[in-house]
C-alpha cells in the first residue's frame, strides 16, 4: 500500500526546514545503510546526533501525532526518529530494500521497519530527477511531491531514488513499526476506516456505522501487537 499524505508539514514549516538544512553540516549517507544498500547509496545526511536534526525530527513527530490520515494508514506502534538527507547533482540511491529491524543508537530499543516514509522538502521544480520509485506487484511508481507532503510505502518493497541531474533534493526519511505487521491486513483496516468515516460524514445517524466500527475494532483487536 502506497499512500500520499498531503501537507503533513505546512508550506512555512517545510520552507523553514529547507532554509536551515541548506546551511547544515552533512555526512556520507552510507553510515546508516546496510551492506547491500551501501553499494548503491550515494547521498548525504545529517548525523543522527546532530542537534539540528534532532530539533527538526521533533517537529516532524509532533506533526505525525496530529495527522489522522497517518494514524489510520500506519497504525504506529514505534516511529524511528526522522532523519534528513540531501541529493546533489549526480547523486542517487539504487534499488534496495530497507533494513528489517533498526536499533536506536545508544539504546536497546529496536524498531521493525514495517513502513518507510519520505517527506519531500524541496520544491519539485527546484531539481531535476530525484524521483522516489517504489515497486510492487502492479509495477514501479515514481513519486515526486510538493514540500511538506509525505509518502508511506511498505518497508519490504524494492525502491530507489533516481539520479538528480540538476539542483539539490532535500528530504526527511524514517521508518514505522505498525501495530499491524502485515501490509495486507493494514490495507483492509485502512479501507474500512476510510469508508466508515465517509459514511459518518454523509449519513451520521445510520446504525450501520456503529456495526462497521465494531467490525473495525474487532479486526484491530485480532491483529494488533501492543
pLDDT of residue 30: 85
CATH superfamily of 3-178: q2cbj1_9rhob like domain (2.60.120.620)
Q: Give the mean pLDDT of the chain.
A: 95
pLDDT tens column, 46-89: 999 999 999 999 999 999 999 999 999 999 999 999 999 999 99
Q: Which fold has domain 183-223?
A: DNA Excision Repair, Uvrb; Chain A (4.10.860)
With H, G, I as helix, E, B as strand and everything else as coil, classify residue 97. coil
Determine the pLDDT at residue 221: 97
d(CA 188, CA 118): 23
Q: What local confidence, expressed as pLDDT, does residue 184 receive?
A: 95
Provide the 3-class DSSP secondary structure of residue 53.
Answer: helix
Name the 3-class secondary structure at 180.
coil
Position 144 scores a pLDDT of 98
Q: Do residues 132 and 199 touch, judged by C-beta distance below 8 A?
A: no
Q: What is the pTM of this model?
A: 0.95
Q: pLDDT of 106-142, one tens digit each?
A: 899 999 999 999 999 999 999 999 999 999 888 999 9
Q: Count Cβ atoms within 10 A of the Cβ of residue 6 and give its class: 0-12 exposed, 13-18 middle, 19 or more buried.
A: exposed
pLDDT tens, position by position, 1-33: 899 999 999 999 999 999 999 999 999 988 877
Cα gap 215→193, rounded to integer Å: 10
- Domain extents for the chain? 3-178, 183-223
Model confidence pLDDT, tens digit, residues 134-178: 998 889 999 999 999 999 999 999 999 999 999 999 999 999 999
Tell me, yes or no, if the two domains 3-178 and 183-223 fold the same way: no
Please say if the pLDDT value at position 34 is more than 80: no
Amino acid at each position: 500500500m502506497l499512500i500520499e499524505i498531503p501537507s503533513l508539514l505546512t508550506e512555512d514549516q517545510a520552507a523553514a526546514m529547507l532554509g536551515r538544512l541548506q546551511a547544515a553540516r552533512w555526512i556520507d549517507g552510507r553510515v546508516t545503510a546496510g551492506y547491500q544498500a551501501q553499494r548503491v547509496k550515494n547521498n548525504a545526511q545529517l548525523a543522527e546526533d546532530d542537534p539540528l536534526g534532532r530539533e527538526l525530527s521533533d517537529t516532524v513527530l509532533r506533526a505525525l501525532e496530529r495527522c489522522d490520515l497517518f494514524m489510520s494508514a500506519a497504525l504506529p506502534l514505534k516511529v524511528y526518529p526522522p532523519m534528513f538527507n540531501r541529493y546533489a547533482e549526480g547523486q542517487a540511491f539504487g534499488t534496495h530494500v530497507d533494513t528489517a529491524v533498526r536499533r536506536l543508537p545508544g539504546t536497546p530499543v529496536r524498531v521493525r521497519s514495517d513502513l518507510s516514509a519520505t517527506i519531500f522538502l524541496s520544491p519539485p521544480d527546484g531539481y531535476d530527477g530525484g524521483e522516489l520509485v517504489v515497486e510492487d506487484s502492479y509495477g514501479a511508481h515514481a513519486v515526486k511531491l510538493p514540500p511538506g507532503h509525505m509518502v508511506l510505502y511498505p518497508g519490504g518493497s524494492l525502491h530507489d531514488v533516481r539520479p538528480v541531474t540538476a539542483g539539490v533534493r532535500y528530504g526527511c526519511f524514517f521508518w514505522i513499526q505498525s501495530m499491524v505487521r502485515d501490509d495486507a491486513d493494514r490495507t483492509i483496516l485502512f479501507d474500512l476506516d476510510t469508508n466508515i468515516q465517509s459514511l459518518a460524514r454523509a449519513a451520521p445517524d445510520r446504525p450501520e456505522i456503529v456495526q462497521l466500527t465494531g467490525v473495525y475494532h474487532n479486526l484491530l483487536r485480532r491483529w494488533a501487537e501492543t
